[in-house]
């Protein structure tokens, strides 16, 4: 039995697929070890916090004394190596979650320094970088600055120290994933180096990490290596493909309380927020997350080897250390990029019959094409790919609830490119 029982894949692609599986065996074994460690860490957090069936029932109205919500947030704090956490279905997206964290900590005339160059498209409006948009941090008087990355795409530690030494910054902000750029995602070792650099020059500066796409990829999280605050989306890694929406914030007790006061209202914070029956999905998603992330990382490694051997530039390469689940494939032109996304969509369990086309997506400066046949709309822990239609016409691919179906999606993407005559 093979994929050819169900899909028409060219024999040369099938041969290359087998070669990829053989070549990535060592990487898969490393991924399995990380997955096992993280799964046991999560299991231990559930046990230590006495999670029970009673915690799964939902609350209504104000949600006072929701023990299930409180236990869930204690479990999440433990998993993130943090003192406290907020984990709610009320967060509409990762950007919304990050916005709550930023507004929770920063005040008018505070200064924030982004250590990883220009942020990705949807967060630029939150900072008010290009224009002081209504409701942005700039609109509230928060002063933005950034340290550009070095030519190799890595943070410029010396310039970061220099900038921190000549001005007082309330927050140093780190974007872990690459966004729509070709720079490397940050590993935990990279984040630790940045944290040490910040604290060595400006010990009172809070360090916040946008942890989207990075949770459970390694055996440690940013709060365990010096970050004061992290935030992310539950329809990415920590929701395990089960959480239908939501986000989380974790960090020191002081900062999480500030964020909670912004999430609800001052003086109330985490004490309110009806769970409306969503607790079970969030618990299940968090418990499934390490395994699901492991499958997504395997998918990225496989795609990296396959497309590098088809003649394309890829980052990271299949055997490089990874800081997140994202795989970037530089496809070179619009035709190849569109064909790739259309082929991947054809292998999705949901909406496989849909043909993706580029469109003007809110929050982005260029037309964007997305392949995302997902059970949860926009869930990038499920196999998906998206890209702005601009040079170098690269696809940012991520996710895969299980490796076997994700591998099929990647092969179908390559087959579509071959059928359209745009495969190298």
The whole-number pLDDT of residue 366 equals 83
326 shares a domain with 238: no
Residue 390 sits in a domain of what CATH number? 3.90.1150.60
Would you state the pLDDT for residue 1? 58
| Same domain flag for 15 and 64 | no
List the CATH number of the domain containing 142: 3.40.640.10
How many beta carbons lie within 10 A of that of residue 142, not counting itself? 22
Q: Are residues 281 and 356 in the same domain?
A: no
- 414 domain residue, yes or no: yes
Residues 122, 155: one domain?
yes
Asked if residue 385 and residue 298 are part of one domain, the reply reads yes
Is 49 part of any domain?
A: no
pTM: 0.96
Q: Mark whether 309 and 383 lie in a shared domain.
A: yes
Q: What is the pLDDT of residue 313?
A: 97
The total domain count for the chain is 2
Burial of 405 (0-12, 13-18, 19+ CB in 10 A): middle
Residue 213 sits in the same domain as residue 333: no
**8 Å CB contact between 79 and 286:** yes
Q: Look up the domain containing 354 and give its range.
A: 3-39+292-419
306 and 187 inside one domain: no
Chunked into runs of 10 residues, the chain (424 residues) has average pLDDT values of 88 97 98 98 98 94 95 98 98 97 98 96 92 93 98 97 97 94 94 98 98 98 98 98 98 98 96 95 98 98 98 97 97 95 96 93 82 93 92 94 97 97 92
Same domain, 106 and 228: yes
Whether 319 and 276 map to the same domain: the answer is: no
Main-chain dihedrals φ then ψ at residue 173, nearest 5 degrees: -115, 130
Final residue belonging to a domain, choices 257, 286, 315: 286
Of the three residues 235, 262, 286, the one that is the final residue of a domain is: 286
d(C-alpha 329, C-alpha 326), whole Å: 10
Q: Could you give the count of Cα atoms lying within 13 Å of 304 in the half-sphere of its Cβ? A: 23
Edge-to-edge order in the sheet of strand 229-233 = 84-88, 247-251, 229-233, 206-210, 171-175, 111-114, 143-146
Is 115 a domain residue?
yes
Distance, CA of 181 to chain centre: 14
Q: Is residue 51 part of a domain?
A: no
pLDDT at position 365 is: 76
pLDDT for residue 406:
97
Under 8 Å between Cβ of 343 and 355: no
Say if residue 112 is in the same domain as residue 222. yes
pLDDT at position 50 is 97
Q: Report the pLDDT value the prediction gives residue 182, as an integer from 0 to 100.
A: 87
Same-domain check for residues 87 and 130: yes
**Domain ends where: 260, 286, 312?**
286
Query: Is 113:146 a contact under the CB 8 Å cutoff?
Result: yes
Strand order in the sheet with 394-398: 313-315, 327-330, 394-398, 384-388, 368-371
**Is 131 a member of any domain?**
yes
């Amino acid at each position: 039995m093979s994929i050819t029982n169900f899909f028409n894949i060219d024999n040369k692609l099938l041969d290359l697929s087998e070669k990829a599986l053989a070549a990535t065996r060592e990487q898969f074994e490393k991924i399995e070890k990380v997955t096992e460690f993280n799964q046991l860490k999560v299991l231990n957090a559930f046990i230590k916090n006495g999670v029970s069936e009673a915690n799964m029932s939902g609350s209504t109205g104000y949600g006072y004394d929701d023990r299930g919500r409180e236990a869930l947030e204690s479990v999440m704090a433990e998993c993130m190596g943090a003192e406290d956490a907020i984990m709610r279905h009320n967060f509409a997206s990762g950007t919304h979650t990050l916005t709550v964290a930023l507004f929770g900590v920063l005040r008018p005339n505070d200064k924030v320094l982004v250590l990883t160059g220009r942020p990705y498209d949807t967060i630029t409006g939150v900072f008010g970088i290009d224009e002081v948009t209504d409701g942005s941090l700039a609109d509230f008087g928060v002063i933005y600055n950034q340290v550009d990355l070095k030519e190799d795409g890595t943070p410029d530690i010396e310039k970061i120290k220099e900038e921190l030494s000549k001005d007082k910054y309330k927050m140093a902000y780190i974007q872990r994933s690459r966004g729509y750029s070709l720079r490397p995602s940050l590993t935990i070792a990279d984040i630790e180096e940045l944290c040490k650099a910040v604290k060595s020059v400006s010990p009172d500066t809070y360090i916040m990490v946008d942890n989207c796409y990075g949770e459970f990829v390694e055996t440690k999280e940013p709060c365990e290596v010096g970050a004061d605050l992290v935030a992310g989306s539950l329809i990415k890694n920590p929701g395990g493909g089960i959480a239908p929406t939501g986000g989380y914030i974790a960090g020191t007790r002081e900062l999480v309380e500030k964020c909670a006061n912004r999430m609800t209202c001052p003086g109330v914070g985490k004490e309110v927020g009806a769970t409306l029956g969503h607790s079970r999905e969030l618990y299940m998603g968090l418990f499934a997350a390490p395994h699901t992330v492991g499958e997504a990382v395997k998918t990225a490694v496989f795609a990296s080897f396959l497309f590098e051997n088809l003649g394309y530039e890829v980052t990271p390469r299949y055997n490089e250390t990874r800081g997140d689940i994202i795989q970037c494939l530089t496809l070179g032109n619009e035709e190849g990029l569109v064909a790739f996304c259309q082929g991947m969509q054809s292998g999705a369990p949901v909406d496989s019959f849909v043909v993706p086309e580029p469109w003007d997506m809110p929050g982005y400066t260029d037309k964007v094409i997305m392949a995302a046949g997902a059970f949860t709309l926009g869930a990038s822990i499920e196999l998906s790919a998206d890209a702005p239609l601009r040079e170098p016409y690269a696809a940012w691919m991520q996710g895969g609830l299980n490796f076997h179906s994700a591998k099929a999606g990647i092969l179908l993407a390559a087959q579509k490119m071959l059928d359209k005559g745009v495969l190298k």
